[in-house]
Amino acid sequence: MEKAYVIGVDYGTDSVRAIIVDAYNGQEMAASTFEYPRWKKRMYCNPEGNVFRQHPLDYVEGLECIVKDSLHQAGEEVRKHIKAISIDTTGSSPVAVDESGMPLALQEAFAHEPDAMFVLWKDHSAVQEAEEINRHAGNFETNYLKYVGGIYSSEWYWSKLLHILRQHPQVRAGCYSWVEHADWMPFLLTGGTHINQMKRGICTAGHKALWAEEWNGFPPEAFFASLDPLLTGFVSKLPAVVYTADKAAGNLSEAWANRLGLGTNVMVGVGAMDAHMGAVGGQVEPYYLSKVMGTSTCDMLVAPLEDMQGKYVQGICGLVNGSVIPGMIGMEAGQSAFGDVYAWLRNVLAWPLENIARGLVEEQTIQTIVSRMIPTLSQQAASIPLQETDALSVDWFNGRRTPDANALVKAAITGLDLGTDAVKIFRSLAEATCFGAKAIVERFTSQQIPVQGLIGVGGVAKKSPFIMQLMADVINMPIRINQSEQTCAMGAAMFAATVAGIYPKVEVAMQAMGQGFEREYKPDHAKTALYGRRYEKYKELGGYMEAATLVPQV
């Protein structure tokens, strides 16, 4: 049997990673990670204004670095037998491009203009535009929000486009089309020279951009032009046909083949979002909620097509045929902040170290202390008894993604007294993130979509036994943790193997290449009743916080 290797690339919020995998057994041959240098310096961002932008050069430089490094690690014998590469990215993370498909930020005139860069998923600067889309949709007989849970989000494609068009006249003049990161990377690698050559993925189109089979593509021109004339013409430049991730976007271009040290016979798969490919890499099963847990969570659930006839789930992030596994309905939910919640507390606690101790204490000592904060807090939080009257938090530090998207709602920590220390605050925040996860499960089950168990993937799932046990106790369901360290990149590799024709469909690739599960957390039924009572208080507190939210005047 001829050797066959594939490359899976996973673009996360802070870094991009690549793995080279044996396509026949899933063995990882090499791996490499690249932290975005501009993003690490927090360039082009304004957290106070919910503005988070990433420069395309971070993506391009990172891709070249990690692929070449991985190939160097793997050796010449592996390099000769690379068959395909597939890519996942965060989403919705779109960018303004010219007619050639080049992001405007790669032009000298826009090299330092945040509005010409990728608008990262967590950017909530388009809150007003999302509200306008939601109101506007009510004017049409066809419910164009039907397949995105009935509520359009400020995190998504059209609201971000409208915001940028309104905000920056020069970017507006140069913007020929609006492209998701997951669609741009394969276009770049295959040497695309005109936007019409781009194969857009069903994953981003269906979950973020209102594409649906029912209306044979995207909503009509009249929907967007009547919302704001600035949107006139954009939908006409989008294709009616979009593709599942098991299809090829093309072959590696000669320029990129030379740049990476590969051949032009290497196939490039259609792109998808990280959590969707991560669900595949984590060996998702029908009706098991796959939770990709990192800075945020993205929760994926798949169901057979025949089970879902006439079913919709209000308030989630979409219900799309083929967005996860071709031939199945993919449903997406998630939390806008998960690991970011713990990082917020770490940053608060680290303030004296970062601002007072620096210069007095060795830098390495400061970094060591900061890196140990969350593991130590977790260890101590696991050892203290929980009381019903302990501090209670709401986890909406970056708004709420699901159920019922609302980027304006805020987090809260309540019930503090002089006995509340850092460990108790951390425990309260960790509990709140698990309560947010429980609310998602309840939304599915309340609308006749069963959830039979949980699958945990991603950094938090692998690194925090405390939070995983807490989640099992709060939701009162077992949670299995996938063995793979890089489930999103592994999912991309499984799709690459399918694109290369090594497997007839991605489910077969998943069986052959999957790494299995390393452990299972089972709920402690002695604690579930107490968590149930605190969950009711969490919902009550969340209701109060939402009622207190000021709605912007349009």
Determine the pLDDT at residue 295. 87
pTM of the model: 0.92
φ/ψ of 224, rounded to 5, equals: -80, -40
Same domain, 69 and 120: yes
Same domain, 492 and 466: no
Runs of H (alpha helix) within 179-327: 181-189, 202-208, 221-227, 254-260, 274-281
Range of the domain at 432: 339-482+524-547
Report d(CA 377, CA 428) in Å as an integer.
11
Report d(CA 407, CA 335) in Å as an integer.
11
pLDDT single digits (tens) 172-215: 999 999 999 999 999 999 999 999 999 999 999 999 999 999 99
Same domain, 466 and 530: yes
3-state DSSP assignment of residue 150: coil
Three-point CA angle 85, 291, 430, nearest 5°: 130
Same domain, 235 and 377: no
Report the number of distinct structural domains present in the chain. Answer: 2
Same domain, 255 and 356: no
Determine the pLDDT at residue 239. 95
Domain membership of residue 323 (yes or no) is no
Domain membership of residue 289 (yes or no) is no
Same domain, 441 and 493: no
Structure tokens at 545: 């916080």
Report d(CA 160, CA 119) in Å as an integer.
7
Terminal-to-terminal C-alpha distance of the chain:
64
Region of 324 on the Ramachandran plot (φ > 0 left; ψ -120 to 50 alpha; else beta): alpha
Domain membership of residue 287 (yes or no) is no
Domain membership of residue 292 (yes or no) is no
Domain membership of residue 334 (yes or no) is no
Yes or no: say if 528 and 318 are a contact pair by the CB < 8 Å rule: no
Determine the pLDDT at residue 550. 64
Domain membership of residue 317 (yes or no) is no
Same domain, 253 and 344: no
Determine the pLDDT at residue 554. 40
* Cis status, amide bond into 523, omega within 30 of 0: no
Give the list of residues 6+ apart from residue 427 with CB closer than 8 angstroms, or none: 381, 384, 386, 390, 391
Determine the pLDDT at residue 551. 53
Q: Which amino acid is at 430?
A: A
Same domain, 252 and 206: yes
Same domain, 193 and 75: yes
Determine the pLDDT at residue 68. 98
Domain membership of residue 301 (yes or no) is no
For the chain, residues with pLDDT lower than 50 are 552-554
Q: What DSSP string describes 382-439?
A: TTSPP-TTS-EEE--BTBB-SSS-BTT---EEE---TT--HHHHHHHHHHHHHHHHHH
Same domain, 144 and 211: yes
Same domain, 476 and 500: no
Domain membership of residue 394 (yes or no) is yes
Give the CATH number, domain containing residue 411.
3.30.420.40
Same domain, 529 and 502: no
